[in-house]
């Protein structure tokens, strides 16, 4: 099995010796400690937010990585409507601004700022991360926006150019037949996209036009990737399915799986990752689940210190079967904390629970779920979207899958929830590459 190319890339950034691929843990720790000290001093001097927030804490005095635990977290709420307090450079040095809006009617926004160097770091990561799944001479169809400079699709195209791979931006799929024909016409080898939007191709009746073996690999990003979705791509296209983990706050890229599919290999030369208890904030050890927290080492426009992602994962202990030993791996993210809603009693329900149950239903390509309160009882309503005319078949199977999903089964048994309306309908497609699906909670 081929060792992840991330190792060589990260090592070359950490070590003065470019041929070193087998760094020791001490060398990596030393590098990260030095970078953390530098960035803390930098934000304390340049960012009004951190100047106030980290006033009483040491920068250069960091003695060990564990000392990071004394630093306060940065939250998504901290960024809301006051990104300017985080900026460490002059406006003229800002190359790219990304505005993130909360779902629903909440008018609050989060802005992320990047310099040209910050953007270059993302392209560099995409370049080396993508070399896991593409080879020179291949063609990649990108089912994400990329029409404007420095959008995810555009950065990916520029990264692929560096390895003699042609990246073609298609954007989100609204017409699966058109996208399927494009894959055939352009002789596409690898598809990059958002899980359910990409699934709409594999589960379309015309999907057979793409011969088995045409697509070698699929890279899914931006949202929870259910094993049920992975199995479907493997079955229909006979390809491998890789998962990328990243967010706009991370500068779009965080980590990517290798051929062993045992967790993401993280960008350890650019970011320091921690797993913490979502409630107490206490650090979690290797193997223990918790919330992903990261600190950027090298971003200039808007570095983030101990940023709480809200994503649930864990550090995977021990070496990866691909041969990587030192650098950190995180398990596939199991959704976001805010996406889990309480049903009553000890029952919680999240998009991952629903995805795992529902995408086992043949022909389902997307769904929208909502919780309502009727006669003092919580009901789960689902709109099912399928690339088929067999509505009755899909609806019956969706209803059955819901009642059999372990979380729901237990909650139904003790009366915490019941299945309400399950209807057929078109579900809105993602609007941006950072769009994530949620359970609409309309109970209050």
Complex with Zn ion: residue 143 or 326, whichever CB lies closer: 326
| φ/ψ (deg, to 5) at 353 | -60, -45
The 10 Å Cβ neighbour count of residue 391 is 14
Cα(130)–Cα(398) distance, integer angstroms: 35
DSSP at 287: T
Cα(232)–Cα(226) distance, integer angstroms: 10
DSSP at 322: T
> Least distance to Zn ion from the beta carbon of 129, Å?
12
> Least distance to Zn ion from the beta carbon of 228, Å?
23
Structure tokens at 191: 């598809």
Burial class (CB in 10 A: 0-12, 13-18, 19+), 26: exposed
> Least distance to Zn ion from the beta carbon of 319, Å?
8
> Least distance to Zn ion from the beta carbon of 6, Å?
8
> Least distance to Zn ion from the beta carbon of 83, Å?
35
Complex with Zn ion: residue 14 or 322, whichever CB lies closer: 322
Complex with Zn ion: residue 221 or 324, whichever CB lies closer: 324
Cα(252)–Cα(125) distance, integer angstroms: 10
Place of tokens 């990059």: 192
Give 386's Cβ-side CA count (13 Å radius).
Answer: 23
Are the C-beta atoms of 424 and 384 separated by less than 8 Å? yes
Residues ≥6 apart with Cβ < 8 Å to 235: none
- Name the site residues for Zn ion (rule: CB under 5 A): 4, 258, 260, 320, 322, 324
Complex with Zn ion: residue 43 or 225, whichever CB lies closer: 225
Are the C-beta atoms of 150 and 96 separated by less than 8 Å? yes
Cα(4)–Cα(396) distance, integer angstroms: 43
| φ/ψ (deg, to 5) at 414 | -95, 15
Complex with Zn ion: residue 89 or 260, whichever CB lies closer: 260
> Least distance to Zn ion from the beta carbon of 329, Å?
7
> Least distance to Zn ion from the beta carbon of 265, Å?
6
Complex with Zn ion: residue 258 or 330, whichever CB lies closer: 258
Complex with Zn ion: residue 200 or 324, whichever CB lies closer: 324
Complex with Zn ion: residue 80 or 259, whichever CB lies closer: 259
Complex with Zn ion: residue 59 or 323, whichever CB lies closer: 323
Cα(288)–Cα(187) distance, integer angstroms: 43
> Least distance to Zn ion from the beta carbon of 287, Å?
17
Structure tokens at 165: 């791979």
Complex with Zn ion: residue 117 or 331, whichever CB lies closer: 331
Complex with Zn ion: residue 11 or 198, whichever CB lies closer: 11
> Least distance to Zn ion from the beta carbon of 213, Å?
24
Cα(223)–Cα(334) distance, integer angstroms: 10
> Least distance to Zn ion from the beta carbon of 260, Å?
5
Are the C-beta atoms of 44 and 12 separated by less than 8 Å? no
Complex with Zn ion: residue 33 or 260, whichever CB lies closer: 260
The CA-based dihedral angle spanning residues 224, 225, 226, 229, taken in that order and rounded to the nearest 10 degrees: 140
Cα(222)–Cα(192) distance, integer angstroms: 11
> Least distance to Zn ion from the beta carbon of 400, Å?
37
DSSP at 433: T
> Least distance to Zn ion from the beta carbon of 4, Å?
4
Using CA atoms, how far residue 329 sits from 37, 221, 235, 247, 354, in Å, is 23, 17, 27, 17, 26
SS (H, E, C) 326-363: CCCEECCCCCEHHHCEEEECCEEECHHHHHHHHCCCCC
């Amino acid at each position: 099995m081929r060792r992840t190319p991330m190792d060589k890339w990260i090592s070359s950034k950490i070590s003065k010796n470019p041929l070193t691929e087998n760094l020791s843990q001490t060398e990596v720790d030393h590098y990260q400690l030095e970078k953390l000290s530098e960035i803390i001093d930098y934000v304390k001097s340049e960012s009004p937010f951190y100047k106030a927030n980290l006033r009483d804490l040491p920068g250069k005095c960091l003695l060990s990585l564990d000392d990071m635990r004394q630093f306060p977290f940065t939250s998504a709420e901290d960024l809301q409507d006051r990104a300017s307090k985080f900026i460490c450079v002059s406006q003229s040095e800002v190359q790219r601004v990304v505005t993130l809006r909360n779902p629903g009617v909440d008018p609050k926004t989060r802005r992320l700022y990047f310099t040209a160097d910050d953007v270059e770091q993302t392209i560099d990561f995409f370049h080396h991360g993508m070399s896991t799944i593409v080879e020179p001479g291949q063609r990649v169809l990108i089912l994400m926006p990329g029409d404007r400079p420095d959008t995810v699709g555009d950065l990916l195209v520029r990264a692929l150019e560096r390895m003699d791979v042609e990246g073609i931006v298609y954007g989100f799929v609204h017409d699966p037949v058109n996208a399927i024909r494009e894959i055939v016409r352009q002789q596409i080898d690898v598809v990059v996209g958002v899980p359910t939007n990409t699934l709409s191709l594999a589960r379309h009746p015309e999907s057979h036009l793409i011969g088995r073996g045409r697509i070698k690999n699929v890279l899914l990003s931006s949202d929870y990737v259910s094993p049920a979705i992975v199995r479907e791509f493997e079955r229909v296209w006979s390809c491998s399915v890789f998962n990328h983990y990243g967010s706009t706050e991370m500068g779009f890229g965080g980590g990517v799986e290798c051929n062993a599919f045992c967790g993401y290999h993280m960008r350890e030369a650019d970011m320091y990752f921690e797993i913490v208890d979502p409630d107490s904030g206490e650090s979690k050890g290797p193997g223990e689940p918790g919330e992903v927290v990261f600190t950027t080492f090298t971003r200039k426009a808007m570095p983030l210190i101990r940023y709480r992602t809200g994503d649930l994962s864990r550090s995977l202990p021990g070496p990866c079967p691909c041969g990587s030993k030192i650098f950190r791996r995180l398990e596939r993210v199991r959704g976001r904390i805010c996406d889990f809603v309480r049903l009553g009693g000890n029952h919680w329900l999240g998009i991952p629970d629903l995805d795992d149950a529902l995408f086992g239903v043949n022909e389902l390509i997307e769904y929208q779920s909502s919780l309502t309160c009727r006669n003092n009882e919580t009901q789960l309503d689902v709109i099912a979207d399928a690339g088929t005319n067999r509505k009755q078949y899909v609806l019956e199977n969706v209803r059955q899958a819901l009642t059999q999903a372990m979380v729901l089964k237990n909650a139904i048994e003790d009366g915490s929830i019941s299945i309400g309306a399950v209807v057929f309908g078109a579900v809105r497609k993602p609007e941006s590459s950072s769009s994530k699906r949620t359970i609409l909670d309309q109970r209050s």
